[in-house]
Amino acid sequence: MLPLSTVNRSGATPNFPAMKYSYLELSKMIDHALLSPALTDQELEDGCRLAIRYQVASVCVKSYAVPHASQILAQTNVLVSCVVGFPHGNTTTASKRYETEQACQNGAAEIDMVINVGKALSGDWNYVENEIRVVSDETHRHGAKIKVILETDYLAQGGAGLSAEQLKRNLCQISERAGADWVKTSTGYGFVKQPDGNLRSIGATEQDLRLMRESVSERVQVKASGGIRDLDGLIQVRDLGATRCGTSATAAILDEYHQRELAVKTGQPAPPSLDPKGASGSTADY
């Protein structure tokens, strides 16, 4: 199971074919992540203005930031997405419903809800489905849409007597029955302790995106998040059938699009990919 394409730091200059997708076809896939625990008000404002400049689909923020983000993004075509139960999904169903209600009343057009992973691994399917349905119903009551986050890093060993593939497929199908508009891979904060004691988060993988797309009907969309930090990764996500991508590397990805587009038009080699940490300030979230 391999992660999606990562930035090229070899210094080699590849030859690119004509652009496969238009700028807006790719920029409107992006939910620009503003989810750092240390995010300042100024960084929130700067991130919202970046989202407007790059014409992304939405900014993804925590519930306290929804009013401020909504004010900045009013009269633009950039939506506000709000995470609920973030990042671990361990709050009560009632808390998630109320957080959703507040977020929607404050201007959120989309909700990114984290499931209770422990309940999923325990095989408490009634709990998992009921919680998703409660939050979905609250979301739709406000005319908003919901993305259900599975946190695939925590499902990699399977659980509840199911293999990892069976578990993920089951959760996708439960999410659809409960009213999800998207199923989503990860929060970007699903760090798993490794044998050496270090923490690691992989995020979206080709295998998981294929599986999720195959596990739901065409009514339900797929969102990739975690580890997508360059243009090739975003293109691969779209090729795999996902319609949204959560990332904090928006500037690096879309600047690379313009550089590559110019190289195609002029016949000149494109520069190596930008380091997304330098462009966005973070590779820790999304």
Do 256 and 23 contact (CB within 8 A), yes or no?
A: no
How high is the pLDDT of residue 52? 98
Domains annotated for the chain, with CATH where assigned, are: 23-280 (3.20.20.70)
Quick: pLDDT tens for 150-178: 999 999 999 999 999 999 999 999 999 99
How high is the pLDDT of residue 18? 76
What percent of the chain lies above the pLDDT cut of 70? 88
Cα-Cα end-to-end distance for the chain: 19
Do 52 and 76 contact (CB within 8 A), yes or no?
A: yes
Q: What does the pLDDT average to over 213-226?
A: 98
Give the Cα separation of 141 and 19 in Å (integer): 40
Question: Is 184 among the catalytic positions?
Answer: yes
DSSP state of 149: E
- For residue 196, the tally of other CB atoms under 10 A from its CB is 6
Strands (E), the chain: 30-33, 58-61, 79-84, 110-114, 145-149, 182-184, 192-193, 199-200, 221-225, 244-247
**pLDDT reading at 273 higher than 90:** no
Quick: pLDDT tens for 92-138: 999 999 999 999 999 999 999 999 999 999 999 999 999 999 999 99
Long-range contacts of 256-262 (CB under 8 A, 24+ apart): 256/230, 256/231, 257/19, 257/23, 257/26, 257/27, 257/231, 258/23, 260/16, 260/19, 260/231, 261/19, 261/23
How high is the pLDDT of residue 65? 98
Kindly name the residue from 223, 230, 232, 285 that is annotated as catalytic: 223
284 pLDDT band, cuts 50/70/90, is: very low
Do 84 and 135 contact (CB within 8 A), yes or no?
A: yes
How high is the pLDDT of residue 282? 39
Kindly name the residue from 112, 181, 230, 285 that is annotated as catalytic: 112
- Out of 1-5, 8-12, 31-35, 195-199, give the one with best mean pLDDT: 31-35
φ and ψ at residue 274, rounded to 5 degrees: -70, 150
Buried b (16+ CB within 10 A) or exposed e, 40-64: eeeebeebbebbbebebbbbbbbbe
Q: What does the pLDDT average to over 217-241?
A: 97
How high is the pLDDT of residue 100? 98
**Coil/strand/helix, residue 197:** coil
How high is the pLDDT of residue 266? 87
Give the Cα separation of 242 and 79 in Å (integer): 18
Kindly name the residue from 153, 181, 184, 285 that is annotated as catalytic: 184
**pTM of the predicted model over 0.75:** yes
Question: Is 31 among the catalytic positions?
Answer: no
How high is the pLDDT of residue 286? 57
Quick: pLDDT tens for 39-49: 999 999 999 99
Do 191 and 227 contact (CB within 8 A), yes or no?
A: no
Question: Is 277 among the catalytic positions?
Answer: no
What percent of the chain lies above the pLDDT cut of 90? 85
